[in-house]
Amino acid sequence: MTNTEPVIEIAGLDTRFGSHVIHENINLTIYKGEILALVGGSGSGKTTLLRQMLGLTRPARGSVRVLGAERYDGSHEQQRKLRIRSGVLFQQGALFSALTVFDNVALPLREMRTLCEETIRELVMLKLGMVGVEPQHARKMPAELSGGMIKRVALARALAQDPELLFLDEPTAGLDPALSEAFVDLIRSLREELALTVIMVTHDLDTLVALADRVAVLADRHIVALGPIPEIIICDHPFIQAFFGGVRGQNALRALQRS
C-alpha cells in the first residue's frame, strides 16, 4: 500500500437475484496504488462485485463510490468521466470481433472525439507496444489471434485512455504457465509505470501470490478476510483453509516465502 487515499469505497452493499442473496452488508475500501484481489468460491459473487464497481449491475442496497463519485447516482457527465478513468480487462477479452486489433484499441480514443486521427494512431501503436503486441498484428482480426494475444490486445484497449483504475477479471485464466507468468510480469511493470490501482478477480493462486498487495476473501455472502496474504492464511475460515491449505496453495505460498 503506497497511499491511504481511497479510490473505491463500498459500504453496506447487498445483492439479491430474486430471493437468492449473494452479498450481505459488504464493506470494502480500496486505496490508491494497491493491487487488490477478490477471491472466493464459484458462485460467491466475485464477478458480481466487480460488475457493481464497474457500474454494470446495480446493488440491491448500499453505496459504491469510485474515485470519490457515486457510481449509481451521479450525473451523466460524471459517469462518463468515471468510465474514461477506469479500464477493464474482461475474462474472454471481449474484443469487438468485427474490428481489427488496431481499431479495437483506437475505438475508446475515437469515441472521445477530441484527438486527431494521427495522434490516435501514435497512441494505439504505443499501447500495443507497451503490452508486447508486434506491429504486424495490428491489422489482424481478433479471430486470427491466439488466447494470450487476445488478452494482451484487450489489456492495451483497457489502457487506451490512460486509466487510473484497472479492473481485471481472471487475467490469467486460459493462459499456459509461461504466458501467465509473462502476463503477470507485464501487469506488474505497467502498474509501476502508469501508477495504476488494480482490482482483480482471480482463481489462480500463483497470480494471486505474485501480484496482490491485499486479498479480499468472499464467502458466505460476506468478506470473511481482508489483508495481505500472510495475514489471510492464519484465518481459520473453512474456505480459506481449503483454498490455501491444499497442495497448490502450499506450493504458491512457498514461492511467496522464497521471494
Contact partners, residue 53, CB within 8 Å, separation at least 6: 8, 10, 64, 66, 71, 167, 199
Please name the amino acid found at residue 88. Answer: V
C-alpha cell at 8: 473505491
Minimum CB separation of residue 217 from other proteins in Å reads 32
Beta carbon nearer to other proteins, 97 or 250: 97
> Euclidean distance between the first and final Cα of the chain, in Å?
18
113 or 258: CB nearest other proteins? 113
Interface with other proteins (CB under 8 A), residue total: 34
Residue with smaller CB distance to other proteins, 117 or 220: 117
Residue 69 CB, nearest approach to other proteins (Å): 10
Identify which of 240, 172, 238 has the alpha carbon closest to the alpha carbon of residue 210: 172
Give which of 83, 91, 210 is closest to 150, Cα–Cα: 91
Least distance CB 78 / other proteins (angstroms):
10
Site for other proteins in 104-133 (CB under 8 A): 109, 112-116, 118-119, 121-127, 129-130
Q: Under DSSP, is residue 176 helix (H, G, I), strand (E, B) or coil? A: coil
The helix/strand/coil state of 51 is: helix
Closest approach, Cβ 220 to other proteins, in A, equals 32
Output b/e per residue, 197-213; b: 16+ Cβ within 10 A: bbbbbbebbbbbbbbbb
- E-only strand ranges, 183-255: 197-201, 214-219, 222-227
Is 20 or 113 the residue whose CB approaches other proteins more closely? Answer: 113
Return the residues of window 140-159 that contact other proteins according to CB under 8 A: 141-143
User: Does the footprint of other proteins cover residue 135 (CB under 8 A)?
Assistant: yes
Residue nearer to other proteins on the CB measure, 49 or 160? 160
Binding mask 178-207 for other proteins (x = CB under 8 A): ---------------x--------------
Q: Interface residues for other proteins in 40-99 (CB under 8 A)?
A: 81, 84-85, 96-98
Helix (H) or strand (E) holding 249: helix 247-258
Q: Is the Cβ of residue 68 or residue 238 nearer to other proteins in the bound state? A: 68
Q: Beginning with the edge strand found earlier in the chain, give each strand of the sheet holding 197-201 in spatial order.
A: 86-89, 165-169, 197-201, 35-40, 214-219, 222-227
| Smallest distance, other proteins to C-beta of residue 245, A | 35
Binding residues for other proteins, rule: CB under 8 A, are: 81, 84-85, 96-98, 102, 109, 112-116, 118-119, 121-127, 129-130, 135-136, 138-139, 141-143, 161-162, 193
